[in-house]
Amino acid sequence: MNPEKLKVAIVGASGFTGSELARLLISHPEVTISMITSESHVGKPFSDLHPQFYSRLDIPLESADQVEKVDVDVIFLALPHGVSMDFVARWKDKGAKIIDLSGDFRLSSKEVYEEWYGKKHTYPDGFKTSVYGLPELFSKQIGDADLVANPGCYPTASILSLAPLYALGIIEADSVVIDAKSGLTGAGIKANATTHFSNVNENFKAYGIAGHRHTIEIEEQLGGLAGSATTVQFTPHLLPVDRGILATSYAKVKGEMNQEKLTKIYHEFYQDKPFVRLRNQAPGIKDVRGSHFCDVFPVWDTRTSRVIVLSAIDNLLKGAASQAVHNMNLMFDLPEDTGLNQLPLKP
């Protein structure tokens, strides 16, 4: 191992997020993967779970207990919500920075968490120190953090769609509708009726109507930008594709607006953000597949006096794994795009 490289542990290897983290980190010039864990596959090569890594990443999977015994600089938790919190509590004083990709520390408090996730939070102190890991909004705080709560996939696309308007405080109360569509990997690697090919292929439907957990994450962040609580109508749908989120957001704004002014607001807000691409046509999810980009396209509809914003991300990357690597770069003072310049794989 190169002693100058960051030593990382990936906890939770069996899912898509763990696999994508491994793919990015194995090519990251400043990183050495020290350990990958999976409780149910201890001893198996990583490539047994994810055959695409065959001959390139065959290291044996270990138990999370082993993380205690090694010296690592950063731990990525690619675990389900409700599981991560215990590991954060356990390793908080280990001297490693932690990037949690679950929903356990994204919200403002134990109370809000328990209301929306319907389960008890066992480490509420984590809310005091965790930083919401959306680099376009909080790069400075992330740089100083020891615990980063990596954002949800839908919230990433949704917040980046409307942040410039909320930051100006010009969104009309009660006017926001976010109609979002995600590829199937958002539903996870677990085999069940939802993920059965024949229920997804050639199909399309809404789910989590009027109650999806990402709603509160979006509301807290957008409300925070505006300086006052906000309510959004958020409806997710399941697309018959592997990857990608497209969010179509609708809002009424206060005061005069036109296309030129709208475009200018977005350009100013994102001028130093290398991974937000302001487009001048409707982005497709394939324009960003396999990349860390968030493509955003704001439209002013003169006829209805409404703003419509389209935004596209790869849910496994900007919506999860590459965002986590971006956060790592910020936490360790690396150039923020280190290891993240993959161009989209299209077609």
The answer to whether 294 is a known catalytic residue is no
Token match 């179509």: residue? 248
CB 342 within 8 A of CB 316: no
By CB under 8 A, residue 203 contacts a copy of itself? yes
Q: Which of 10, 149, 153, 307 does the annotation list as catalytic? A: 153
Both structure tokens of 11: 């906890």
By CB under 8 A, residue 339 contacts a copy of itself? no
Tell me which stretch binds a copy of itself (CB under 8 A): 21-29, 37-45, 119-127, 147-155. Answer: 21-29
Name the minimum Å distance from CB 86 to a copy of itself: 27
By CB under 8 A, residue 229 contacts a copy of itself? no
By CB under 8 A, residue 192 contacts a copy of itself? yes
Name the minimum Å distance from CB 54 to a copy of itself: 6
> What SS3 state is found at 68?
helix
Q: Which is nearer to a copy of itself, 280 or 333 (CB)?
A: 280
Tell me whether strands 294-301 and 306-313 are parallel, antiparallel or unpaired: antiparallel
Name the minimum Å distance from CB 156 to a copy of itself: 17
Instruction: Give the CA diameter of the chain.
Output: 63
Among 141, 228, 231, 258, binds a copy of itself (CB under 8 A): 231
By CB under 8 A, residue 284 contacts a copy of itself? yes
Output 344-347 pairs: Cβ under 8 A, ≥24 positions apart: 344/286, 344/287, 344/288, 344/289, 344/290, 344/291, 344/293, 345/289, 345/290, 345/291, 346/286, 346/287, 346/289, 347/286
**Distance separating alpha carbons of residues 166 and 227, to the nearest angstrom:** 9
By C-alpha distance, which of 161, 200, 165, 166 is closest to 182? 200
Name the minimum Å distance from CB 207 to a copy of itself: 6
By CB under 8 A, residue 118 contacts a copy of itself? no
Length of the chain: 347
Q: Which is nearer to a copy of itself, 102 or 249 (CB)?
A: 249
Tell me which stretch binds a copy of itself (CB under 8 A): 5-13, 134-142, 144-152, 284-292. Answer: 284-292
**Distance separating alpha carbons of residues 256 and 90, to the nearest angstrom:** 52
Q: Which is nearer to a copy of itself, 88 or 321 (CB)?
A: 321
233-262 mask for a copy of itself (x: CB under 8 A)? x-x-x-xxxxxx-x-x-x------------
Instruction: Tell me the catalytic residues.
Output: 153
